[in-house]
Amino acid sequence: MEASAGLVAGSHNRNELVVIHGHEEHKPLRNLDGQVCEICGDEVGLTVDGDLFVACNECGFPVCRPCYEYERREGSQNCPQCKTRYKRLKGSPRVEGDDDEEDVDDIEHEFNMNEDDQHNKGIKNNEQIAEAMLHGKMSYGRGPDDDENSQFPPVIAGVRSRPVSGELTYLSHGYGDKPSPLHKRVHPYPPSEPGSEKWDEKKDGGWKERMDDWKLQQGNLGGPEPDDMNDTDMSMIDEARQPLSRKVSIASSKINPYRMIIVARLFILAAFLRYRLMNPVHDALGLWLTSVICEIWFAISWILDQFPKWYPIERETYLDRLSLRYEREGEPNMLSPVDVFVSTVDPMKEPPLNTANTVLSILAMDYPVEKISCYISDDGASMLTFEALSETAEFARKWVPFCKKFSIEPRAPEMYFCEKIDYLKDKVQPTFVKERRAMKREYEEFKVRINALVAKATKVPPEGWIMQDGTPWPGNNTKDHPGMIQVFLGHSGGLDTEGNELPRLVYVSREKRPGFSHHKKAGAMNALVRVSGVLTNAPFMLNLDCDHYVNNSKAAREAMCFLMDPQIGRKVCYVQFPQRFDGIDRNDRYANRNTVFFDINMKGLDGIQGPVYVGTGCVFRRQALYGYNPPRGPKRPKMVSCDCCPCFGRRKKLPKYSKNDANGDGANLQLQGMDDDKELLMSQMNFEKTFGQSAIFVTSTLMEQGGVPPSSSPAAMLKEAIHVISCGYEDKTEWGIELGWIYGSITEDILTGFKMHCRGWRSIYCMPKRPAFKGTAPINLSDRLNQVLRWALGSIEIFFSRHSPLLYGYKGGKLKWLERFAYVNTTIYPFTSLPLLAYCILPAICLLTDKFIMPPISTFASLFFIALFLSIFGTGILELRWSGVSIEEWWRNEQFWVIGGVSAHLYAVFQGLLKVLAGIDTSFTVTAKSADDEDFGELYAFKWTTLLIPPTTILIINLVGVVAGISDAINNGYESWGPLFGKLFFSFWVILHLYPFLKGLMGRQNRTPTIVVIWSVLLASIFSLLWVRIDPFVLKTKGPTTKQCGINC
């Protein structure tokens, strides 16, 4: 696919296909009529066909043929103006470096896919454009011999006469468990490429060579004595054969006490609940029953959360072994290609500068450029996103070589230039300072251009947006527009300033029409899966949010240490990285870092069947997303006994013969041929029903190691790319049901990972020392609560769907029980808001009514409470000890668990019930990503929402209860202070957990203490005076009244 060949817009249903040129301002071709050579001054001259000689097809720099041939033979072989390498033209002799080009003399045939078509005349202009966009070295692992050696499955191509590459037996690949009549896998590479038969033979030869080397060392072959060089080679070979990763178990001195106290806490909790049930409070039966129900629910919730953390592990990767095994010197690079997906919707809420930094960090990753393709999904069809991506592609030509030359980290320019560190550390190149200053100036100019685009986009013209060539923007109506594809960078046209190739950068906006369900982010991700399957079809896919940039340039290599490991890789469906965030205040007031979840819970799940998918920072195996089952391990042979001992084992079954066998084998062969025809037809129908009616895409799903299947013509391939992103493509298929991102919840990430684990796949949790990805988090209280509300609502949707972990996935028994506990906990945790709300109000009610939820306890009963609190604190302390999480982070997490539980989770429960019972759907709003220059400016912004009402009410009620209880104790004397302490303890427990919420209501951090003191004194004074005047809750003593006895009492 040639970069910058134009924006392709079209609709498969309407049979429309349009190519729009001239939107980007590229270097224009000069008018060459009458031009002279800029090098020698002679006339440029004509070709043998009578046309003007053009040496460079990129910029048209006027050069005559002698200068052109001299530059190719003696010079740098690059155009003096655009630095693009000169390609061999018709009639020019070959020079060094032309071996990679097509073996034809005419550059007009550069993009021809079929050699039989090169003599055809009258080729349409549309087909030429499609060929230029979609073929130019687009596939991975395809060389110049592909047209001759490529062999593809005839089931999908529809041509039975074409042979199938590789073996088609079921045992040849492990992903043949997809329920279909085919049960066959296809080798994706032609025999001449790495990963094919010749490559396997080479590997086999390597084993023989290593054995011979070992015999030589032992002296068995009588060869020469091994020298130091052979020892070095053998050590490198041995190192390459080692595992690419390993588990690091938690030290037994840390994990064993942790497990012991969990078991002890379980027994203590059972004894405590028994005591509570056996000792009711008769004068406050309602309060007692409510509290017991809440405590039972808390116990169940704790079990579901605690026991999946029973086997926590850590992992180490060995990047040097990965390079030794797959990047050997003098051999083709064997690292697997990776397609990177970035999704965005609204550029006004997701700033284009954030998206640009994410894209730049992806393009500059430390990974072979021919193995990386970046796809941007613009689900809002915004011209602002399109233009910003065009500017990003131009800036990437300068930024990527700068990063790789000086090993820059991180490779997102905004974060790199804003880091307050010594940027000269470990830098030894003398030109670094000069080039860094120049690059910073270039980036500032780039930011100005992006800001200008954002400013222009704030006011939409009445006639809609117009592109630079005068064509109306196809996405002016965001709810009714065709699908759009634009390649900004590619291997045949995307070169940086130093003449090196750049990774492919593709803009994709799927088709949207009224009356179709587009399934929000999950639908956009599935569209990217399909269009990437048609264009590049990498075996692995990295999913990132638009505000999550690559902080560790070796992140893809870290994932490959697991996915390409020959021991464990084949059963790994995805590698999940923890989420890390920038721009959070030092105290992390609202637990935005979510450290307890990412550093404790996820490590525990990694020891069972793997972590859950959290929506970003995840590298997938494409075959797992396609719904295939993991490869099966070798089965234990079943015990077979002889006929004489029927008590043990099973008897041998004799083969059954039918009557047709006696008639000869001819009839059997004929019937077998008919069965093959039926199987072929049924397989094709089944695949179309599963993956959709795209022959090219369905063929790509059979290629375990990736690669792009051929098409009958480039125009047909272009139509397929538009076809697979059309709004009606998923109708009557299994997309969103069994394939890709699963529909049915706004938290599609949890559902997608759950389906994979139910099929038997396992996932890996990778935590490199340098965080792989970093993003931005909504640090404002209202935005944070809205984000938590969306997550909780998605969990409620999953709980009431057919994919509920309580009921789904028992058939195959492939989901482990502790893993199921974790998934059940992710779907029922919003329901904890109901008992939590009741438990937070109970202390205030007890203070106001002078009643308590517990009867007077004896000394023996008090031991239950003491043991329970000690076990709670002990579990937390030992958990922090093995995980490395600080106590401050743990406490912030506990506080926000209460804040979110009584606000966002509570609203999610009611919204979820309304959606399930009444069909009232709630709209999904994109969380705004902050682009404010002020440090933590959003933290103190007050945005009132209804989510703030429940916590505010609980705070006021508890404050009133505390004032009323203390006033009552002062009024009644010393005896009333004893029962008051238990009530005050629970009330202060609530207030302390809601303290960050109170700070969020009060204003800026430096004014909070004064305001809190003033409000506290004012409220205490007012309610104390009212208490003395009204005295409503004090229990009156029984006895004669003054009117009856006449005594002045």
Most distant CA pair in the chain: distance in Å?
134
Number of CB atoms found within 10 A of residue 1033's CB: 14
Contacts 24+ apart (CB under 8 A), 203-210: 210/237
The DSSP secondary structure of 490-549, one letter per residue, reads -TTT-B-TTS-B--EEEEEE--B-TT----HHHHHHHHHHHHHHHHT--SEEEEEETT-E
At 690, list the tokens.
Answer: 């599963």
d(CA 109, CA 107): 5
d(CA 1049, CA 1047): 6
Q: What residue has token string 């030589």?
A: 216
Question: What's the burial of 716, exposed, middle or buried (CB within 10 Å: 0-12/13-18/19+)?
Answer: middle
Torsion from C-alpha of 198, 200, 202, 208, nearest 10 degrees: -140
Contact in structure between 73 and 97 (CB atoms under 8 Å): no
The H or E element that residue 488 is part of is: strand 483-489
d(CA 714, CA 763): 38
Number of helical (H) and strand (E) elements in the chain, helices listed first = 33, 17
Give how far the C-alpha of residue 85 lies from the chain's centroid of Cα atoms, to the nearest Å.
37
Pairing of strands 580-582, 773-776: parallel
Torsion from C-alpha of 311, 317, 321, 325, nearest 10 degrees: 80
Q: What residue has token string 């609560």?
A: 785
3-state secondary structure of 430: coil
Give how far the C-alpha of residue 264 lies from the chain's centroid of Cα atoms, to the nearest Å.
38
DSSP 653: P
Number of CB atoms found within 10 A of residue 89's CB: 19
d(CA 185, CA 166): 9
* Beta strand extents in 185-269 (DSSP E only): 245-249
- Is 749 annotated as catalytic? yes
975 contact partners, CB below 8 Å, separation of at least 6: none
Please, what is the angle between helix 887-901 and helix 859-883, to 10°?
110
Number of CB atoms found within 10 A of residue 583's CB: 19
3-state secondary structure of 16: strand
Q: Of 146, 339, 379, 588, which is the active-site residue? A: 379
Of 463, 411, 467, give the one whose Cα is nearest residue 439.
411
Q: Is the dihedral of CA 414, 418, 421, 424 positive or negative?
A: positive
Of 846, 860, 836, 1005, give the one whose Cα is nearest residue 937.
1005
For 137: left if phi > 0, alpha if psi spans -120 to 50, otherwise beta; the answer is left
Amino acid letter at 850? D
The H or E element that residue 372 is part of is: strand 372-378
- Is 283 annotated as catalytic? no
3-state secondary structure of 854: coil
Pairing of strands 372-378, 338-344: parallel
Provide the residue count of the chain: 1049
Of 460, 761, 766, give the one whose Cα is nearest residue 627.
761
d(CA 439, CA 398): 8
Q: Of 378, 588, 749, 850, which is the active-site residue? A: 749
d(CA 399, CA 545): 21
DSSP 52: B
d(CA 343, CA 661): 60
Residues classed as catalytic: 379, 749
